[in-house]
């Protein structure tokens, strides 16, 4: 009798584990699938490369253009009105590199971007709210040694929250040339992740 009970418990436990294993973890949070506006920022922790000072700015603009071409999201300048906040950081291929810190990397007085349907105009006076970007008056340009990932980074955070970049990201993509123009593989991978998450959502009973 005791042996039978043990066998039964083992079978029940194995069945429970199998059922639990078959339950796929959601690929993306629901707020990502519902999002329609996005603010693209340069990673506030990234310094400005002395050899390629416009690398992060270019990556930021390339991501915005790729998002507009996709058509699912509308880039906005104000992080407080954005459904999602995306940070980008161009890799240098080196883990340690000299950079310039203290520059207002996300201060964008005017944005003029040609699109398929016309021209996108925008502006951001001062630092974006809740972006954790140091205020210009708090810092001054200075040389520094930066230690970080050598690959390009594309990180997605939830919008409409206090300190979005202080929270756990919803999705992250980091690899060599992830922000390479003009195709911007990171945006394409994000599109695939959303499509897969939507398929998963539809398949639920």
Residue 25 within a domain? no
Residue 2 within a domain? no
Residue 4 within a domain? no
Handedness of CA 187, 149, 132, 55 (dihedral sign): negative
pLDDT at 20: 38
**Residue-number span of the structural domain to which 180 is assigned:** 30-200
Reported confidence tier of residue 108, pLDDT bands at 50, 70, 90: low
Residue 21 within a domain? no
Residues listed for the chain? 205
Residue 102: pLDDT over 80: no
Residue 16 within a domain? no
pLDDT at 14: 43
The C-alpha atoms of residue 142 and residue 105 are separated, in whole angstroms, by: 14
Tens-digit pLDDT profile for residues 159-200: 999 999 999 999 999 999 999 988 999 999 999 999 999 999
Tens-digit pLDDT profile for residues 13-39: 443 433 333 345 558 999 999 999 999
- Which has the higher per-residue pLDDT, 82 or 2? 82
- The answer to whether residues 78 and 125 touch, using CB atoms and an 8 Å cutoff, is no
Residue 11 within a domain? no
Residue 49: pLDDT over 60: yes
Write down the mean pLDDT value for the chain: 78
- Structural domains in the chain (count): 1
- The answer to whether residues 120 and 77 touch, using CB atoms and an 8 Å cutoff, is no
Q: What is the DSSP string of 161-190?
A: SSSGGGSPPSEEEEETTTT-TTT-HHHHHH
Residue 101 within a domain? yes
Query: Residue 55: which H helix or E strand, with range?
Result: helix 55-70
Range of weakest confidence among 50-54, 130-134, 180-184: 130-134
Residue 13 within a domain? no
């Amino acid at each position: 009798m005791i042996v039978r009970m043990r066998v039964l418990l083992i079978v029940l436990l194995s069945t429970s584990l199998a059922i639990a294993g078959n339950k796929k973890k959601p690929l993306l949070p629901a707020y990502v699938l519902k999002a329609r506006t996005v603010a693209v920022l340069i990673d506030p922790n990234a310094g400005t490369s002395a050899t390629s000072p416009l690398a992060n700015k270019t990556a930021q603009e390339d991501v915005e253009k790729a998002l507009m071409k996709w058509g699912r999201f509308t880039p906005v300048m104000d992080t407080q009105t954005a459904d999602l906040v995306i940070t980008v950081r161009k890799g240098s291929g080196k883990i340690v590199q000299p950079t310039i810190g203290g520059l207002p990397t996300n201060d964008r007085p005017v944005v003029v971007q040609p699109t398929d349907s016309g021209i996108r105009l925008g502006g951001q006076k001062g630092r974006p709210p809740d972006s954790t970007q140091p205020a210009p008056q708090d810092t001054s340009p200075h040389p520094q040694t930066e230690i970080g990932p050598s690959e390009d980074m594309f990180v997605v955070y939830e919008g409409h929250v206090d300190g979005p970049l202080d929270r756990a990201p919803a999705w992250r993509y980091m690899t060599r040339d992830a922000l390479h123009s003009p195709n911007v593989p990171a945006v394409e991978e994000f599109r695939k992740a959303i499509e897969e998450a939507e398929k998963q959502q539809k398949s639920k009973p």
